[in-house]
Amino acid sequence: MQLVVTGAMEKAGFTQKGYTSHTLRHSFATHMLDNGSNIHVIKTLLGHSKLETTIVYLHLVGFGAILLSGFWSVANEYFDPREANAPANNRFNAGFSFSHGRYLGNLDVNYSGSAYWQDVFDLRFAGTTDAYTLVNGAFGVRWAGEKVVTSLKIMNIGNSEVQQHIFGDVLRRQVVGEVRVGF
């Protein structure tokens, strides 16, 4: 990569030393920010996992200790706090399964509290999802010396309207029949 960037810089007439692929990457990110791009988009394009890394990379704060209050005062100049996802604070999963003789099955209950989701596009795709509880179950029978298993799986047994993300599909009851054959 470095050879390609150096060769392109020389072809473009940049003869000074110090132009590297990192210089190009940093300039790209800085120009995006200067032109009003969302800092979360820049974070994603740079491959950073934490917003703090992008803020330091773009020299929005020094390398000193980033105090939380200082971080938010700087960060709020560049993005709307509504653009940050806030997953559910409360989640709960419980279930059991059984396998006895020819019969097998399971039942599980999953709860998720309300959450705030922001898509990468803009605030038209943002909002809060309601808390939901999903109950799923399955029942099956083994045949032919356990070489064939038939089962019936039901997701969202209560047929609640569940939307896990504000920009996602509404989940309804789903019933699936399955036949597995072992060789």
The percent of residues above 70 in pLDDT, for the chain, comes to: 72
Strand pairing partners for 91? 112
**pLDDT digits over 106-143, tens only?**
999 989 888 777 655 556 667 788 899 999 999 999 99
In this prediction the pTM is 0.51
What tokens does 182 get?
């072992």
Instruction: Give Cα separations from 100 to 95, 107, 110, 142 (angstroms).
Output: 17, 15, 25, 10
Average pLDDT, rounded, for the chain: 76
What is the C-alpha to C-alpha distance for residues 20 and 103, in angstroms, rounded to an integer?
A: 65
What is the C-alpha to C-alpha distance for residues 158 and 173, in angstroms, rounded to an integer?
A: 7
Domain ranges of the chain: 2-79, 91-181
- Cα 144 to the center of its chain, rounded Å: 43
**pLDDT digits over 19-60, tens only?**
667 777 777 787 777 777 777 778 888 887 777 777 777 766
Q: With beta carbons less than 8 A apart as the criterion, state whether 165 and 129 touch.
A: yes
DSSP string over 58-108: TTSS-SS---HHHHHHHHTTTS-GGGS-B--S-EEEEEEEEEETTEEEEEE
Q: What is the pLDDT of residue 43?
A: 81
Q: What is the pLDDT of residue 176?
A: 93
